[in-house]
Structure 1
Amino acid sequence: MKKTRLWMMGALAVSLGVSLTGCGSKDTNAANTGTATVSPSTVKETASAKPAAQEKTVKDEIGHEVKIPGDPKRILGIYLEDELLSLGIQPFKQSKIGTWSGQDYLGLAMPAIDVSGSVEAVLEAAPDLILENVYDEKRYGQFSKVAPMYAFKDARADWRATIRTLGDLFGKTDKAKDVIEKYDQRAKQAGATIKQKIGDQTVAIVRVHTKEFRLYGGPGYAGPVVYQDLGLTPSKLVKELILDKNGKVVPISLEMIPQLDADHIFITTDTGAEDKTKELLANPLWQSLPAVKKGHVYQVNFETWMKSGPIADGKKIDDVLAALAK
């Protein structure tokens, strides 16, 4: 273990760099066309006034008809706070599942709500709109009785598509486009910087779950950032087990660890699995890996690496730059 350098990269107190403002229409009212004399100041006030946003009915990704309030103030976005904040929309609660999955990296100064199935908590919160990141029939049946509810099939798979949809729902299509363009530009620049340092050296992403070890590579979470956005080279095991099979994630046994021949390994630990990570790092099979011997193992934040969104993915880029472009 003396030869292993574990880079601890927290991302809990970094400025979000987004404007936390409400959503509204950019349209303006037409000026009054009556015969009375209108002063210039009155014209200016009339031209700058904004009409009240109207309720609209849309179909969500499951096919439900949903009435979206014209100007929702109490939006409960179940694990969609990252995307909402990026659009400048302030949610009024932040999601959590028990004590397991927090979002401290967003720096939200607001109460959390357990969305693991407690309809009472949602009733008490009294949202005027609910957004569900991953469709669950039972939860939808309960929560949609509390407030209008828009469900995504799986918003985690592609945050760009998700933020475009949210932009359409809230009249922020231009903002959604801007968020995507700025992220893509930064990712391209960061990828070029990293490639200059490590070339085609390979990278792997390991998650220590409470029940198993998992290797990531496909849609959602960390894989697309590392292998697509930054353009880094996956290790042989990642390619064979995930990418060549159009997969997302695979469990790996302790006996498979010697096959993890990546030049660089990013490892993240679930809340409650800290002891399991200590056992792994002390295991002779782990210590025999090339990346471990060279000190190329980097421990990274679970909250940001196991979430999707422009803010979380930006923090992943920060971590990879700090580890590989030094």
Structure 2
Amino acid sequence: MRNKKKFILVLMSLMVMSLWLAACGSNSNNEPAATEAPTATEASTEHKLKDALGNEVTIPANPQRILASYLEDHLVALGVKPVAQWSVQNGTQDYLKDSLEGIPTIAYDLPFEAVTSFNPDLIIMGGNSAVEGDKYAQYSKIAPTYTLGDEINADWRKSLLKVGEVLGKSDEAQKVLDAYELKAKEAKEKLQGVAKGESATAIWLVQKSFFVVSDKLSSGSVLYNDLGLAVPEVVKEISAVGTGNWNAISLEKLAEMDADHIFLINSDMDSGSEALKDPIWQAIPAVKNGKVYEFPNTTAWLYSGAIANSQIIDDVLKSVVK
């Protein structure tokens, strides 16, 4: 039963992240009109903002009971604790557990009754699907509801800045982003010193099945865009036809994996990780060369945000820079 719950957790995480990125290919002409961030004075008073769906939302002054399910990375980075945190099958974003200790959970699909029970004074939604149909009207009856929209929600940087704008913390959000960019720049320089030109990938093992991270999304964006590691040809090939953060990879393609370094997120630790005993896995050059770095499924590698990505950078440096 325990393994079954873990399997449901990781697959639901994958589903939610796929929805999170559903509009990556959206035409930029659909981007909502920019709105000016409130000044310090405005932040202490009620103000109105238009969200991605065109709704004019009245943001309360200094909201104290904020619900922003699956956007907790941004809240924590801005020093804000939500009234409840995202969960699925009682599993949460473990990499944030120290910051969210004691915060009750709410189911990922945000049942109206559960949302009402937390008495939020502001609700921030991510993608459009979270408020499809009559959901927006229902949530808006509970509390002012602001939707980031697919285009913004698919980019953690834009999402962080928009959440900061909504909360009257634009300056803080920019400082968080600037600090991350500096950390990534310094980490990239260190990696260039010891692994220049070398390639890497992140692979997720779930119930004996393998998934490879996209070359443009999630932790793949950190590896390739932020840290400058080379993209293996197999990863390029699968990413070109894949649609999510993580895409299934067959054993045949694994046999062609040309990565110098593999970051393995292992959800099968408790069941013995049988797939890692397969001769095909064992024959991968990075495996034979001892260049596989293993992490549990509670790791930040399955998420995205200033905090998650910062932790990923730490993991990469500890693994590669000796």
Give, in whole Å, the separation in 1 of the partners of 2:314 and 2:54: 38
150, 167, 175: which one aligns with 2:164: 167
143, 153, 157: which one aligns with 2:139: 143
Percent of aligned positions that are identical: 37
Give, in whole Å, the separation in 2 of the partners of 1:133 and 1:214: 24
Q: Give 1:263 shift.
A: 1.0
90, 94, 110: which one aligns with 1:99: 90
Give, in whole Å, the separation in 2 of the partners of 1:63 and 1:86: 27
Unaligned runs of 5+ in 1: 1-23, 28-50
1:299 partner amino acid: E
Aligned partners of 1:94 and 1:113 also within 8 Å: yes
Change in 2 beyond 3 A, CA 1:239/1:76: same
Aligned partners of 1:208 and 1:268 also within 8 Å: yes
293, 302, 309: which one aligns with 1:306: 302
Aligned partners of 1:235 and 1:261 also within 8 Å: yes
Pairwise CA RMSD: 2.6
Q: Give 1:61 shift.
A: 1.6
Q: Tell me the equivalent position of 1:127.
A: 120
Q: Give 1:205 shift.
A: 1.1
Q: Give 1:143 shift.
A: 3.0
Higher helix share: 2
Q: Tell me the equivalent position of 1:33.
A: none
Q: Tell me the equivalent position of 2:4.
A: none
Give, in whole Å, the separation in 1 of the partners of 2:239 and 2:95: 30
Matching of residue 177 in structure 1 with residue 174 in structure 2: yes
Q: Tell me the equivalent position of 1:59.
A: 50
1:292 partner amino acid: V
2:119 partner amino acid: A
Q: Give 1:208 shift.
A: 2.2
Give, in whole Å, the separation in 2 of the partners of 1:52 and 1:161: 20
CA deviation digits over 1:88-143, x for unaligned, max 9? 22322221122344334341122222232422211111111111123321554543
Give, in whole Å, the separation in 2 of the partners of 1:220 and 1:99: 26
SS of structure 2 residue aligned to 1:214: strand
Q: Tell me the equivalent position of 2:317.
A: 321
Change in 2 beyond 3 A, CA 1:97/1:245: closer
1:191 partner amino acid: K
Give, in whole Å, the separation in 2 of the partners of 1:185 and 1:143: 38
Give, in whole Å, the separation in 1 of the partners of 2:84 and 2:262: 35
Q: Give 1:240 shift.
A: 2.6
Unaligned runs of 5+ in 2: 1-37
Q: Which has the higher contact order (CA 8 A, sep 6+)?
A: 1
Q: Which has the larger radius of gyration?
A: 1
TM-score with structure 2 length normalisation? Answer: 0.78
Give, in whole Å, the separation in 1 of the partners of 2:307 and 2:209: 28
Matching of residue 280 in structure 1 with residue 271 in structure 2: no
Q: Give 1:247 shift.
A: 7.4
145, 159, 184: which one aligns with 1:187: 184
Change in 2 beyond 3 A, CA 1:98/1:146: farther
Q: Give 1:269 shift.
A: 3.3
How does 1:1-326 map onto structure 2 within 5 Å? Answer: 26-27=40-41, 53-107=44-98, 108-109=100-101, 110-136=103-129, 137=132, 139-140=135-136, 142-154=138-150, 157-210=154-207, 212-242=209-239, 248-270=245-267, 273-274=268-269, 278-302=273-297, 303-326=299-322
TM-score with structure 1 length normalisation? Answer: 0.77
1:279 partner amino acid: E
Give, in whole Å, the separation in 1 of the partners of 2:104 and 2:262: 35
CA deviation digits over 1:133-159, x for unaligned, max 9? 233215545433321111222455221
Give, in whole Å, the separation in 2 of the partners of 1:195 and 1:219: 20
Change in 2 beyond 3 A, CA 1:317/1:258: same
1:162 partner amino acid: S
How many equivalent residue pairs?
A: 278
Aligned partners of 1:218 and 1:246 also within 8 Å: no
Give, in whole Å, the separation in 1 of the partners of 2:306 and 2:97: 11
Q: Tell me the equivalent position of 1:10.
A: none
Give, in whole Å, the separation in 1 of the partners of 2:272 and 2:50: 44
Give, in whole Å, the separation in 2 of the partners of 1:73 and 1:296: 46
